[in-house]
Amino acid sequence: MKKTLMFTAMMALLIGLSGCDKKPEARKVEAPKAAATAEAMSGMPMPAGNKMGKGSGTVAAIDTAKGTVTLDHGAIAELKWPAMEMGFTAKPEVLSGIKVGDKVSFEIEWDGMSGAVTAMQKKP
Ligand SMILES: [Cu+2]
């Protein structure tokens, strides 16, 4: 009689304990997800796949409202690009003093989809 009570009490204790254990476990499952999201967020400004390249060319068009510049550029070895004409985004300070027809040397950052001109110098 006493043994049965003890057994029942122990079972209740075990069930109670395992019930307690489940809560932190459920939290553990969510933690890596949150960490992965934080990692992706911190990687957003500069994904690992970004490449830098240097080139020279002629300014074909500037759109200050959109913050873009079209360059008729020569081959860019770092990106394995042939010569072509294409558009880039560029901050106003990068384009200050630059006008259409200028021969320029420039640095670009390419994320695999689009490029941004990070520096530009007018050639003498
Ligand atoms: Cu190009």
Q: CATH code at 108?
A: 2.40.50.320
Ligand 1 midpoint to CA 48 (Å): 21
Please tell me whether residues 57 and 106 are part of one structural domain.
yes
Domain limits for position 11 = 1-45
* Segment among 48-52, 58-62, 86-90, 103-107 with least mean pLDDT: 48-52
Ligand 1 midpoint to CA 124 (Å): 23
Ligand 1 midpoint to CA 70 (Å): 9
- pLDDT band with cut points at 50, 70 and 90 for residue 46: low
Ligand 1 midpoint to CA 22 (Å): 56
Last residue of a domain, one of 29, 45, 61: 45
Beta bridge partners of 39: none
Please tell me whether residues 17 and 69 are part of one structural domain.
no
Ligand 1 midpoint to CA 75 (Å): 8
Helix runs in the chain, H state only:
2-43, 92-95
Model confidence pTM above 0.75: no
Please tell me whether residues 101 and 56 are part of one structural domain.
yes
Please tell me whether residues 11 and 70 are part of one structural domain.
no
- pLDDT band with cut points at 50, 70 and 90 for residue 15: low
Contacts of 108 (CB under 8 A, 6+ apart): 52, 53, 54, 55, 76, 79, 88, 115, 116, 117, 118
Please tell me whether residues 19 and 56 are part of one structural domain.
no
Total domains, the chain: 2
